Structure 1
């Protein structure tokens, strides 16, 4: 399998806070990798490191510089513009002619079922609709890897199902997914592999079925039981 990320003993520090410490991880193309752990465990920092938004202060981080990737944040930023233009802007900034970018944006919105809202102000959409616009914006870039930070947090059940459906469809089409989630049911449904982080350290790295049904490190077992230290 093609390797997309290779991290060896990386560390990330923000001032006096050690956000990641000694994390080693390999991710191959086509994986569905879930990052789990308590708030402050390092999930978001690891995602931002993979995306190149955070630079490690220790260890080595290898990836294909030609790799096309996109990141979806927990609260996606929407410009005070139409839904279609919010999606088109990223394509235009990438060098596409504006009219072609708008056409591609409309196709991306159709992919997530929001083409009827193309002319609406993106700021006026519900949280679930904004998250789907963000997915369309990411999908339009045709990434090989999609990184998602708590993609369904604070969404209602219907919106969660829609976002999960799209994530599953993207993965089925061959996209590599790396996502953080506090929703263990979602992890079971979408992930093929689980990474458990605690205090910035990678404690467990297991196939999903083994993480939920097999022997796991004591710290991860306490997390699964809701008995965090």
Structure 2
């Protein structure tokens, strides 16, 4: 049996670059279930927080811990960037690559690629070069490529920021399906409507610090901080 990597615990985490404090100190726990949405104004530190939780960002202080050594958690995590990075290969090869990289046989990897292409609605472009896809198709490919190895937790940085309504709805449906199947999701978004639709938990950031966190229903019904209340009213928060 594989030891789970959740909960993740962030303790006194700090990120500094060129003498500027970008994040922290942050104490935060990502529990084993749910869908966490990270919110806050531009420059609040949302991307830095996700990258630090995932291990992409070197901490200047504090730590992130898991039930197993954090260095061993990589195989059970995935990260989807706001602007997807596409290999100059077909959709088929992009999807199969993570499995091939981790030792799966070609037959198994390409079968899984075909299954995921169907699941996210990319069968019609399966043999096209990935860089030729539309923005929504690229984001669905990036999401499927992250999920194909069945990670325990997936981090997503503004996954629908540049998508139209239809593509956003399709991405949200995929996220709801995989979360219901047991994948832990932590994502950032500026879209309050999207946060209302998807989140079970909200983490609200300002100036690199978590100033409010809790159950999504309670957050939207009665935010505890004036900054969160202002954001939900559509006011400028800075």
State the TM-score, normalized to the length of structure 1: 0.95
1:56-95 equivalence runs, <5 A:
56-63=59-66, 64=68, 65=70, 66-67=72-73, 68-95=76-103
Alpha-carbon separation, structure 2, partners of 1:141 and 1:54:
22
Query: What residue is the counterpart of 2:39 in the other structure?
Result: 36
Query: What residue is the counterpart of 1:17 in the other structure?
Result: 20
- Residue 222 of structure 1 deviates from its aligned partner by 2.1
- Structure 1 ranges of 4+ moved more than 4 A: none
- Residue 50 of structure 1 deviates from its aligned partner by 1.3
Equivalent position SS for 1:80 = coil
Task: Deviation per CA, 1:91-132: give whole Å up to 9, x if none.
Answer: 111122234322221112122121221101111110001111
Aligned residues of 1:2 and 1:28 also touching (Cα < 8 A): no
Query: What residue is the counterpart of 2:225 in the other structure?
Result: 217
- Residue 141 of structure 1 deviates from its aligned partner by 1.1
1:71-150 equivalence runs, <5 A:
71-150=79-158
Gaps of 5+ in 1: none
Aligned residues of 2:5 and 2:152 also touching (Cα < 8 A): no
Residue 58 (structure 2) pairs with residue 55 (structure 1) = yes
Gaps of 5+ in 2: none
Equivalent position SS for 1:197 = strand
Alpha-carbon separation, structure 2, partners of 1:23 and 1:16:
18
Alpha-carbon separation, structure 2, partners of 1:139 and 1:206:
26
Q: Which moved more, 1:89-98 or 1:139-148?
A: 89-98
